Amino acid sequence: MKSLAVYWGCYILTSQYQYELSLRETMPKLGVKLIDVEEATCCGFLLESIDKFASTYLAIRNLSLAEKISKDLLTPCNGCYLSLSEALHRWRVEESTRSKIASLLRDENLFFKGELRVYHAVNFLHDSLGLRKISEAVVNPLNNLKLATHPGCHILRPSEIVSADDPENPRKLDELVEALGAETINYPGKLDCCGGPLLSLQPEKSYLISSRKINELERIGVDGLVVSCPICFKMFDSQDVIRRVAGGKASLPVVYYTQLLGLALGFKPDTLGLNLNQSPVEKLTSKISC
């Protein structure tokens, strides 16, 4: 069994429980053991707007806690993946940042070598575990589903720091969905941002941004939208807000990739937290046997 550290980040630990449930359920079935990074904190994403060094320090501190338990770290959140990857990059190339942070870490008896590999769920599943292993584990193929994927911004850009997939033509999440037997579509707004990082600053209007993709996909006609980031998920799944803020009749199932994976591996919907999705996922689950 392959084991690796898992860093969840704020959104998953405090509210996006269905992402955590579905990852915790599915990974052991694929031969992966997850070890939680204890005493982790925010990845530092929020602090980028107020203090760059503090943001890097928080990220490296989390990475040093992870390095104590594994050579590899998995984070299921796009925002955390960028923060941690960027901090690791800075640690490797900026001597002054490295020595300042090393000294702060020493106060807590922490030490960071910087040899850790950071994966997002998408490139871990696609590149490290592999599509074949996933498709071989499928017991309930999702043959009747036509789905759109939303890779999200921070596993793609800036491509000099994060390289989970091709920044202009990402395909990995689509291939992961196809490995479960479902069909994926290409659509013009695939690379559009969900608006999530604006959620706290613009609690209502930020949903105008996510509404565009939901309404576009409703017009095209798909069985659901597959997401791999907790913030993107919240922006697309909260369709009562989308209907109120942007008008329209948004009613599109939105699921985490790991929930979809769980269905294909034979788990029951509630075990994967599908009852916690606010979008009408029964429209999707009714098309498959589960």
Partner 1 sequence: MSLTDLMSSSKAVKDLKIKIKRLAEKNFDYCFICGKCTGGCTSISYFRLEPHKVVNMAKLGLVNELLTSDVLWVCTQCHKCAERCPQKVSPYDLIMLLRREAFKSGLKRPTPILLGVRNILKNGFILDEQTVFSRDLDEFNRETLSLPGIPKPSEKFLKKLSDFLGLGEGK
Regarding 251 and contact with partner 1 (CB under 8 A), the answer is no
State the DSSP string of 141-188: --TT-EEEEE--STTTSSTTT--SS-SSS--HHHHHHHTTT-EE---T
CB-based contacts of 218, cutoff 8 Å, min separation 6? 248, 249, 250, 251, 252
- Nearest approach in angstroms of CB 30 to partner 1 is 20
Within 60-89, the residues that bind partner 1 by CB under 8 A are 61
- Nearest approach in angstroms of CB 46 to partner 1 is 5
Regarding 106 and contact with partner 1 (CB under 8 A), the answer is no
Regarding 205 and contact with partner 1 (CB under 8 A), the answer is yes
Regarding 133 and contact with partner 1 (CB under 8 A), the answer is no
State the DSSP string of the chain: -EEEEE---HHHHHT-HHHHHHHHHHHHHTTEEEEE-TT----STGGGGT-HHHHHHHHHHHHHHHHTT-SEEEE--HHHHHHHHHHHHHHHH-HHHHHHHHHHHHTTT----S--EEEEHHHIIIIIIIHHHHHHH-SS--TT-EEEEE--STTTSSTTT--SS-SSS--HHHHHHHTTT-EE---TTTT----GGGTTTSTTTHHHHHHHHHHHHHHH--SEEEE--HHHHHHHH-HHHHHHHH-S-----EEEHHHHHHHHTT--GGGGTGGG--S-THHHHTTS--
Residue 184 or 206 having the CB closest to partner 1: 206
Regarding 214 and contact with partner 1 (CB under 8 A), the answer is no
- Nearest approach in angstroms of CB 124 to partner 1 is 21
- Nearest approach in angstroms of CB 175 to partner 1 is 22
| Piece in contact with partner 1 (CB under 8 A), picked from 138-146, 154-162, 174-182, 254-262 | 154-162
CB atoms within 10 A of CB 30: 17
Among 6, 23, 27, 47, binds partner 1 (CB under 8 A): 47
Residue pointed to by tokens 């592999």: 130
Residue 108 or 136 having the CB closest to partner 1: 108
Residue 136 or 270 having the CB closest to partner 1: 270
Among 96, 99, 103, 200, binds partner 1 (CB under 8 A): 200
Residue 25 or 137 having the CB closest to partner 1: 25
- Nearest approach in angstroms of CB 184 to partner 1 is 22
Regarding 143 and contact with partner 1 (CB under 8 A), the answer is no
Residue 83 or 123 having the CB closest to partner 1: 83
- Nearest approach in angstroms of CB 108 to partner 1 is 6
Regarding 39 and contact with partner 1 (CB under 8 A), the answer is yes
- Nearest approach in angstroms of CB 54 to partner 1 is 6
Residues at the contact surface with partner 1, assessed by CB under 8 A: 10-11, 13-15, 17, 20-21, 24, 36, 38-42, 46-52, 54, 57-58, 61, 104, 107-108, 153-154, 157-159, 167, 191-193, 195-198, 200-202, 205-206, 208-209, 273, 275-278, 280
